[in-house]
Structure 1
Amino acid sequence: MAPCTGSAPEPFVPHQRQRYRRKVHRCLDALADMLTSSRFCTEERRIGLEIELNIVDETLRPSMANSVVLEKLNDPSFTIELSQHNLELNVPPRELSDAAPMQLERELHTSLANANKKAQDAGCDLALIGILPTLESEHFQKKWISNNPRYVSLNDQIVAVRGEQLALDIDGASLPGRQPEALRTYAESILPEAACTSLQLHRQVRPDEFAAYWNSAQCLAGVQLAIGANSPFLLGNALWSETRIPLFLQATDTRTEELRNQGVRPRVWFGERWITSVLDLFDENVRYFPGLIAEFDDEDPLTTLDEGNTPGLAELRTHNGTIWRWNRPVYDVVHGVPHLRVENRVLPAGPTVSDMVANAMFFYGAQHSLAHQERPLWTNMSFASAEENFFAAAKSGMDAKLYWPGLDWTAPDELVLQELLPLAREGLRAYGVTDRASEHYLGIIERRCLTRQNGASWQRDAVRALEDRGYDRNAALRQMFERYLELMNSGEPVHNWPIPR
């Protein structure tokens, strides 16, 4: 969830909804005009990252101290997030070329090490993990929303639109040799969304290539989850390999059961079709989803365009920020020049910095190659198959079966080793990344596939091993998490992590 600043927006009153809808439509018309008049930045094609972090106390439980830690950090790269136990690191955008991946890893190590030192001054530690295994239901109480009026307003709007408690209902994939587990509970706020900490990858693209890059990202989403899953536990239950996926959907769901039965679309959304333009996505946002935040800008975007200036499209961007696509379109303006980005929101945070950089390089390289294929992959693959891959991978991780044209149904590790690693190498070479850097990070992905061990499988195997030694579930989770943090801080990629015996 993007950080918010400023005063809280007021709740919608009836006449504001019509006014807001008209303003969003004017923003959409302005965007359509801009797409036909070549107003966008086309020279720079930079990448960027956002990393969401958990703050834990000495008992490894969530520490509601983000404002204290942020004050000690005194670094504009870090911002608070929805819950008081979250922070976000915004990595400056850059060109992906030469040895940039290695420089990125060095910068991340330095930033996170400095941040953790400041957190320790406040009696806390930072954790890179998709979902904290030590979370409890009490951490979802509204009082733990970060000290930002807009977060409170967003929570209140979603809860009011839903009109009832938020239901969390997730059937799990069993630990090896165990019975399946399930979660059935309710939450009074949207804070279960804050349990989901992610690695968000941005790729700046030209308007004419946006559709190819977005479609490519959708094709890759299931594979990313299968090999990068890191969120297998929630509230003491062994659930999906990437439990963030159903949890995020349910935590921000404004639909009642009746609306779900009618087929009303959720605000956390994979999508429903391949696109031919970025306008397709913004148009869907406007047609399908009502506004949540009543905030207006004085600018008339069409007048701004007529005057030869660049509109901010404030209402369209705010609205886009309340629709959580797993691959989200982004319109932004830098130094008066507009650009477009594909924001990939699929991956969890962690387990290590090197794993996250490897995940990013695999994605950027494979996405580039797929986007530039002479015959696009999505012409041979239904959108429904891409969505099915996404949810199958989220639930079963490395054990999922994924559909891929030419291979039919296959294991994720085999798909990566046979098809996607060569494409990722080609893509990184096209960016100008050195062979040394490419082989280093794609080698991490290769060895993860060969060992079939990612963050989720390591956590699950570690908890099972500890329970076999007589630990109850809570004790096993804490022991596992303590060892996880040690290995995370060692920097050793997760495929090399030993299972506690």
Structure 2
Amino acid sequence: MGEELKHTSFGPGHRRDYRRKVQLCLDVFETMLAKSSFDFEKPLTGMEIECNLVDAEYQPAMSNSEVLAAIADPAYQTELGAYNIEFNVPPRRLPGRAALDLEADVRASLNAAEAKASTDGAHIVMIGILPTLMPEHLTGSWMSESVRYQALNDSIFTARGEDIMIDIAGPERLSLQTASIAPESACTSMQLHLQVSPADFADNWNAAQVLAGPQLALGANSPFFFGHHLWAETRIELFAQATDTRPDELKTQGVRPRVWFGERWITSIFDLFEENVRYFPSLLPEMSDEDPVAELADGRTPKLSELRLHNGTIYRWNRPVYDVVEGRPHLRVENRVLPAGPTVLDMMANSAFYYGALRALSEEDRPLWTKMSFAAAHANFLEAAQNGMQARLYWPELGEVTPDELVLRQLLPLADEGLRRWEVAAEVRDRYLGVIEGRAKSGRNGAAWQSMTVEALQGRGLSRPDALAEMLRLYCQGMHSNEPVHTWEVPA
């Protein structure tokens, strides 16, 4: 979660003053990009993993406050739903064998957290959407105890002025109305961070947008929501709809959604922050005491709290991040495309593929985004979310291709070269890109395994709810084995 707030409600004066302060922060940020020294010489990568809690019957366990108290580790924090927690993995560098150490550390931390959670009767699950979650679970005390979350919920509905409509097509269409942002809590992701220089930010962000479609096709892991079989990565559309502040009239007028792919390639990180300020009214207009102009004039690094808070309520799939650590400012690309799970190994493989391909694509002499429209990248993203490994993606010089062909022919060699430029050891490249190769050749990602397993279990005579619970039990076995999902067996 972001930083906690002091207020749950805000008046017109708050919003007016906040708008002025955000604009002031933006002006200072522009000055800093031109004159300040940003920290990027030894770039760090970071990872956040959002998890679900279940009980012994694999149903949602609304007990994150008790579980977090038992874990007693500041790396674990609340998320929106009382059945969610987030694991913030300490930043690391990429070279050498660092990724193998990171994999071992992440597994050890999650196993320790699981052992402590189980004393409260809860178990931790890494998955894009908890398949046993049903509408009745999101009534009553579904939300984590947090001023920030309550204020966010209230602000979204104040802006919207009516209930939110969730309408997702797919093999089993789902349509319902909700009077809270509770469905958003179903969306649990893995977020990848990369520290970059101001000069390299645009190339890295553009490359991340190009990669979003292939990333999703490979990593989809959310085929079920409220018992319905929907998209391969239902989380993408559910998150967009569950936080939409626009009634139909504003959609018709072309007002941008807060969950946003974007609409153009960029030339600077400033483009993204400027769009955020220009297009999106504040949701959480809480003011700090900082005078960013005075801070900068006195030789200190301004926190730009209002700009950062505003940025945190605009949910770009590749989000720009400004942060200050030990008095030094830095910039990050935050990749929010992927779901959590299925295993730590799968997530490490997804990370290696992303960081490697990103490095290679961002450094090409003639960048890929100069050969394709932004609309084509967006279409790839939605096509991959809907159809996973069965998608058809557009790629310059190849035309329309399947994800397996694109990954095996183009992107795996690029990812290997990019990781080599990061000075990642050959054994690390082989381990993680080997998982991506196996997934591409088999066509089996988390979404495919979930769908095939539920179909097989229902074929044995189980009801849909029982099949989902049994699938989740088998999923948890596979998750703890740390064997990649493409090797998991499907019940006969």
Shift of 1:167: 1.0
CA distance in 2, matches of 1:333, 1:367: 24
CA distance in 2, matches of 1:293, 1:441: 40
1:149-160 paired onto structure 2 within 5 Å? 149-160=147-158
The one-letter code sitting in structure 2 at the alignment partner of 1:330 is V
CA distance in 2, matches of 1:361, 1:500: 30
Checking the alignment, whether the CA contact within 8 Å between 2:40 and 2:195 is kept in structure 1 is no
CA distance in 2, matches of 1:13, 1:475: 48
Shift of 1:10: 4.4
1:494 to 468, 482, 485: 485
Secondary structure of the 1:48 match is strand
Secondary structure of the 1:297 match is coil
2:300 to 289, 293, 309: 309
Is 2:452 the partner of 1:454?
no
Q: Which position in structure 2 is the counterpart of 1:5?
A: 4
Query: Which structure 1 residue ranges, 5 or more long, are not aligned?
Result: 173-179
Which whole-Å deviations, capped at 9, do the CAs of 1:248-271 have from their partners, x for residues lacking one?
001100000111111111000000
Which whole-Å deviations, capped at 9, do the CAs of 1:365-417 have from their partners, x for residues lacking one?
00000000011110001000000000000000000000111111000111000
Relative to structure 1, the CA distance from residue 4 to residue 140 in structure 2 (aligned partners, 3 Å threshold; closer, same or farther) is: farther
Shift of 1:142: 5.6
Checking the alignment, whether the CA contact within 8 Å between 2:219 and 2:350 is kept in structure 1 is yes
Q: Which position in structure 2 is the counterpart of 1:264?
A: 255
Q: Which position in structure 2 is the counterpart of 1:127?
A: 125
Q: Which position in structure 2 is the counterpart of 1:82?
A: 80
The one-letter code sitting in structure 2 at the alignment partner of 1:154 is L
CA distance in 2, matches of 1:475, 1:121: 25
Q: Given the two structures, how large is their TM-score scaled by the length of structure 1?
A: 0.97
Shift of 1:299: 1.0
Shift of 1:15: 2.2
Q: Which position in structure 1 is the counterpart of 2:470?
A: 479
Checking the alignment, whether the CA contact within 8 Å between 1:51 and 1:349 is kept in structure 2 is yes
The one-letter code sitting in structure 2 at the alignment partner of 1:203 is L
CA distance in 1, matches of 2:463, 2:2: 38
CA distance in 2, matches of 1:127, 1:302: 45
Shift of 1:6: 4.9
1:371-386 paired onto structure 2 within 5 Å? 371-386=362-377
CA distance in 1, matches of 2:180, 2:322: 29
Checking the alignment, whether the CA contact within 8 Å between 2:126 and 2:342 is kept in structure 1 is yes
Q: Which position in structure 2 is the counterpart of 1:280?
A: 271
Q: Which position in structure 2 is the counterpart of 1:100?
A: 98
Checking the alignment, whether the CA contact within 8 Å between 1:130 and 1:350 is kept in structure 2 is yes
CA distance in 1, matches of 2:34, 2:190: 33
Is 2:108 the partner of 1:110?
yes
Q: Which position in structure 2 is the counterpart of 1:289?
A: 280
Checking the alignment, whether the CA contact within 8 Å between 2:8 and 2:150 is kept in structure 1 is no
1:31-50 paired onto structure 2 within 5 Å? 31-50=29-48
Checking the alignment, whether the CA contact within 8 Å between 1:142 and 1:188 is kept in structure 2 is no
Checking the alignment, whether the CA contact within 8 Å between 1:217 and 1:327 is kept in structure 2 is yes
1:28 to 4, 26, 29: 26
Q: Greater shift after overlay, 458-467 or 353-362?
A: 458-467
Which whole-Å deviations, capped at 9, do the CAs of 1:44-96 have from their partners, x for residues lacking one?
21100000010001111110110001001110110011110000000111110
The one-letter code sitting in structure 2 at the alignment partner of 1:103 is D
Which whole-Å deviations, capped at 9, do the CAs of 1:268-307 have from their partners, x for residues lacking one?
0000000000000000000000001121011111121111
Shift of 1:139: 2.3
Q: Given the two structures, how large is their TM-score scaled by the length of structure 2?
A: 0.99
Q: Which position in structure 2 is the counterpart of 1:416?
A: 407
Relative to structure 1, the CA distance from residue 134 to residue 10 in structure 2 (aligned partners, 3 Å threshold; closer, same or farther) is: closer
CA distance in 2, matches of 1:156, 1:38: 38
Checking the alignment, whether the CA contact within 8 Å between 1:3 and 1:81 is kept in structure 2 is no
The one-letter code sitting in structure 1 at the alignment partner of 2:111 is A
Secondary structure of the 2:174 match is strand
Which whole-Å deviations, capped at 9, do the CAs of 1:306-327 have from their partners, x for residues lacking one?
1111100000000000000000
User: How many residue pairs were aligned?
Assistant: 492
CA distance in 2, matches of 1:157, 1:138: 24
CA distance in 2, matches of 1:199, 1:150: 21
Shift of 1:186: 1.4
1:175-254 paired onto structure 2 within 5 Å? 180-254=171-245
CA distance in 2, matches of 1:497, 1:106: 21
Shift of 1:192: 0.8
Is 2:315 the partner of 1:324?
yes
Checking the alignment, whether the CA contact within 8 Å between 1:52 and 1:197 is kept in structure 2 is yes
Checking the alignment, whether the CA contact within 8 Å between 1:206 and 1:340 is kept in structure 2 is yes
Secondary structure of the 1:143 match is coil
Which whole-Å deviations, capped at 9, do the CAs of 1:118-140 have from their partners, x for residues lacking one?
01000010001000110011222
Checking the alignment, whether the CA contact within 8 Å between 1:83 and 1:194 is kept in structure 2 is yes
Checking the alignment, whether the CA contact within 8 Å between 2:172 and 2:228 is kept in structure 1 is yes
CA distance in 2, matches of 1:354, 1:164: 43
Checking the alignment, whether the CA contact within 8 Å between 1:228 and 1:347 is kept in structure 2 is yes
Secondary structure of the 1:420 match is helix
2:329 to 331, 334, 338: 338
CA distance in 1, matches of 2:291, 2:306: 11
CA distance in 2, matches of 1:465, 1:444: 25
The one-letter code sitting in structure 1 at the alignment partner of 2:29 is L
CA distance in 2, matches of 1:391, 1:103: 34
Q: Which position in structure 1 is the counterpart of 2:65?
A: 67
CA distance in 1, matches of 2:205, 2:321: 11
Shift of 1:141: 2.5
Secondary structure of the 1:144 match is coil
CA distance in 2, matches of 1:34, 1:139: 47
Percent pairwise identity: 55
Secondary structure of the 1:482 match is helix
